A and B are shown apart, each in its own frame.
Chain A
Amino acid sequence: MPVPEPTPLERFLNGILPENPVYRQLLGLCPTLAVTAAMKPAMTMVGATAFVLICANLITSLIRHLLKPHLRILVFTLTIATFVTIADRTLAAFAYPMSKLLGPYVPLIIVNCMIISRCEVCSSKQGPKAALADAVGVSLGFLLALASVATVREILGNGSWFGIQLVPESFPTLILMILPPGAFLALGSLLGLATWLGHRRRARESAAEAGSV
């Protein structure tokens, strides 16, 4: 018997934590490492990625019955590239300094496996409602991931959060955290923490199940 596809609500909730693109699937690591030195660029990247993901998921879901299996990846890429270009040009028009700061990372959303994997796993198989819920859920999951890494890096490395100074400027900061090695240190530590919390939760659940049996 075929396994039923998840409902839109399940898709939405799964994207946030159980199937978090960064902490669970280890996808989208390039922007997670590259643009998380501060919250502002990280949140701009989340916004651009969410826009592309939502549009790509909706379009591929609407045309899912017309897709030919051997040409589907081409359709996904074409769709994603179109919306990435729109996001890139929109940033250059309305947030030029941020567009310059993010540099090649906005065009690089095209090769973010997180987006193409959602087209493959969800939107090419389910209707627009589930595809939209999935895209919003995964975007929120991506937001959580980038916000957590950027928060750790900006506070430790710069003493600020979202550009707001939290500690006096004379306070010593760990400059390393806003440099590239800081991205690996922050992501590695948070990934370890997320995995440890997951293991602990599962251990508790299985202990509770054993107790009830």
Chain B
Amino acid sequence: MSRLRDTYLGQAWLILLLAGVFGALLAAVHLKLSPRIEDNIRAEIMREIPGLLLGAEVMEGASITIEGDLVRIEPAAGEPRVLTIVEQPSEASALYQVAEGDPGRLLGWVARGQDHGYADVIELLVGLTADTARITGIYVLNQKETPALGDGIVRSGFRQHFVGIPTDNPLTVGRDAAEAAQSPYAIQALTGATVSSRSVCKIVNDTVALVKVEIAEEPERSDARP
């Protein structure tokens, strides 16, 4: 009996048992809650896509209604707009084709991409023009970067750097404003969070490269048919 107690199994049986029980509990929680969490994320994506393609200024004070694939936007000033957002098959986490009006005029593309940041996975939405030639904006869907340093990637000041950058070359990271000003493809890193800034640029580069090829290979995708 005392020999059994001295073995690793004799010492660690409680931890192994608890790991099994807790693992099963977490699996059950995941099964139960993940559809609801995915619905929440989808609703958030649908709400953020218009801002990525139409610009933050259009969305300021606008009310948004989501009905299936349709997003109705009533701006504070100007005519209401209706966008049709259709998810397309892609190697990226997700690719959305966005068209406006009826018949649909292709407005642009929004791709969902992810990779490791400094602390955990960073998930982004990357908006592209209809011809995929320029980035229209980025939105941080999920991040757990260092509070007050890396989590600055969610702020509009940092995200604004990406708006309008051509996609014919990969983005690079400049450590300061002077370094970033040297190239039209350089993004100014957040102070004290170069790793988070580099991760965001890498995700944007990888996602853009992937969906550009996919869209170019299948030109019929660009025929917006909402």
Contact = CB atoms under 8 A, between A and B. Distances in A.
A171 B208 CA distance: 47
Interface in B20-40: 22, 25-26, 29-30, 33-34, 36-37, 40
A208 interface: no
Interface stretch (A77-85, A117-125, A131-139): A77-85
Contacts of A74: 15
A2 interface: no
B168 interface: no
Nearest to B22: A82
Interface residues of B, number: 25
Contacts of B15: 71, 74-75, 78
Interface in A83-127: 85-86, 89-90, 92-94, 96, 100, 103-105, 107
Given A79-B18, A79-B22, A104 B33 contact: no
Q: Which 10 A-B pairs have the closest CB atoms?
A: A96-B40, A82-B22, A104-B144, A93-B33, A93-B36, A92-B37, A89-B33, A93-B37, A66-B14, A86-B29
Interface of B: 11-12, 14-15, 18-19, 22, 25-26, 29-30, 33-34, 36-37, 40, 44, 119-120, 143-145, 147-148, 151
16 contacts: A71-B11, A71-B12, A71-B15, A78-B18, A78-B22, A79-B22, A82-B22, A86-B26, A92-B33, A92-B40, A93-B33, A94-B36, A100-B44, A104-B120, A105-B147, A180-B148
